[in-house]
């Protein structure tokens, strides 16, 4: 177990040799990483405090370097520091982190880097919990969670042809299906849902990797890519089946949805009317609705409605798109 004295010795006398090394040009790193990841890891930046859900997530798994995938920390060594950044008590192995004196900003700190690729991770402090007393204060943008269980999100925001096309393009999204949820009729058909008597909304069900894309970011994208202030309406599409809705799969998802809506309310001139309710059941839509844009991108509706929507989405969230 590393101690503060051990770390000071490494700063003074040199770091342990890594198991391997990874070197790339700045251009290669820029092509691989998002803008934020590059700024943090390669330019020694710092993300804003409390900007990531990673601070409060404690599911089992391993955290690796976003640049070179070297395993750095075990979730079992993660703790709630209330600092605004993910915090750990120990690295997974003593030689995966290198330590460097950092006198920037008129402060004396010890910088931590990935010992494999020299990515800036954050800093380490001697104010952590016993028995080691260390706090590895890391940038979430420098880490990737691996060994996690895929999660599910269910949203509605108008015609599911549009919403499906948006979320299919996100890095970390494993699958998207169009369907119906939020109502009372079992096994509804598209015709029945369009009648507005089933209580169901047109929704998409997303399977995503929380190590690459967190739920709160999915919510922000959802609220930014439709109008959540119009009740039972998206553009010319009117009816309860087109309502803005978030179907939460857990209490945690419900709390996160409430928090993100409150956060984003300032971006809208009118009150957000998005419905939040517990998820009960998802009914997959008919086969011709699945991957509609992918199969019919030249159709009139896709050209007139979905293409402009996708253009705005790609401009807003270019750092989260699949490459």
Q: pLDDT band for 90, please (50, 70, 90 cuts).
A: very high
CB 167 within 8 A of CB 206: yes
Report which of 315, 145, 307 is spatially closest to residue 215, judged by C-alpha positions.
145
Structure tokens at 40: 């943090």
Cis? peptide before 63, omega within 30° of 0: no
Structure tokens at 30: 């820029």
Question: Per DSSP, which regions of 18-150 are E strands?
Answer: 62-65, 71-74, 78-79, 87-88, 97-102, 109-114, 120-125, 135-138, 143-146
64 backbone dihedrals φ, ψ, rounded to 5°: -115, 165
CA distances from 92 to 77, 99, 114, 208, 269 (A): 9, 15, 12, 26, 48
Tell the residue number behind the tokens 């994208």, with chain if given: 221
Q: What are the domain boundaries of the chain?
A: 4-146, 151-320
Query: Is pLDDT at 297 greater than 90 in this prediction?
Result: yes
Q: pLDDT band for 272, please (50, 70, 90 cuts).
A: very high
CB 133 within 8 A of CB 3: yes
Cα 150–154–156 angle (5° rounding)?
155
Tell the residue number behind the tokens 């003593």, with chain if given: 94
- CATH top class, domain 151-320: alpha beta
Query: Is pLDDT at 149 greater than 80 in this prediction?
Result: no
pLDDT (tens digit, 9 = 90+) per residue, 59-87? 878 899 999 999 999 988 999 999 999 99
Question: Per DSSP, which regions of the chain are E strands?
Answer: 62-65, 71-74, 78-79, 87-88, 97-102, 109-114, 120-125, 135-138, 143-146, 151-157, 173-181, 201-208, 233-234, 237-238, 244-248, 275-278, 283-284
pLDDT (tens digit, 9 = 90+) per residue, 205-240? 999 988 788 899 999 999 999 999 999 999 999 999
Report which of 71, 234, 202 is spatially closest to residue 145, judged by C-alpha positions.
71
Question: Mind telling me the catalytic residues?
Answer: 137, 159
- Match domain 4-146 to its CATH number in 2.170.150.20, 2.40.50.140, 2.40.30.20, 2.60.130.10: 2.170.150.20
């Amino acid at each position: 177990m590393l101690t503060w004295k051990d770390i000071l010795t490494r700063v003074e006398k040199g770091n342990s040799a890594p198991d391997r090394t990874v070197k790339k040009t700045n251009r290669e790193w820029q092509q691989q990483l998002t803008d934020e990841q590059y700024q943090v890891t390669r330019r020694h930046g710092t993300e804003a405090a409390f900007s990531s859900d990673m601070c409060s997530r404690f599911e089992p798994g391993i955290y690796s370097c976003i640049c070179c995938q070297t395993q750095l920390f075990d979730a079992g060594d993660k703790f709630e520091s209330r600092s605004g950044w993910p915090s750990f008590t120990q690295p997974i192995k003593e030689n995966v982190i290198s330590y460097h004196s950092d006198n920037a900003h008129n402060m004396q700190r010890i910088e931590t880097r990935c010992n494999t690729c020299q990515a800036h991770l954050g800093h380490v402090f001697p104010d952590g919990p016993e028995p080691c007393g260390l706090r590895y204060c890391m940038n979430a943008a420098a880490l990737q969670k691996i060994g996690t269980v895929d999660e599910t999100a269910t949203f509605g925001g108008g015609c599911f042809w549009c919403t499906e096309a948006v979320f299919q393009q996100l890095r970390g999204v494993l699958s998207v299906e169009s369907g119906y949820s939020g109502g009372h009729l079992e096994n509804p058909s598209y015709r029945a849902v369009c009648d507005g008597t089933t209580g169901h909304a047109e929704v998409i069900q997303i399977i995503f990797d929380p190590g690459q894309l967190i739920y709160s970011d999915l919510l922000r994208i959802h609220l930014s890519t439709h109008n959540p202030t119009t009740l039972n309406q998206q553009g010319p599409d009117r009816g309860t089946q087109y309502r803005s809705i978030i179907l939460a799969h857990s209490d945690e998802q419900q709390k996160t949805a409430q928090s993100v809506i409150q956060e984003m309310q300032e971006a809208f001139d009118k009150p957000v009317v998005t419905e939040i309710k517990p998820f009960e059941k998802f009914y997959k839509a008919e086969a011709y609705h699945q991957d509609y844009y992918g199969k019919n991108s030249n159709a009139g509706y896709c050209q007139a409605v979905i293409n402009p929507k996708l253009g705005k989405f790609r401009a807003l969230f270019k750092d989260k798109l699949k490459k």
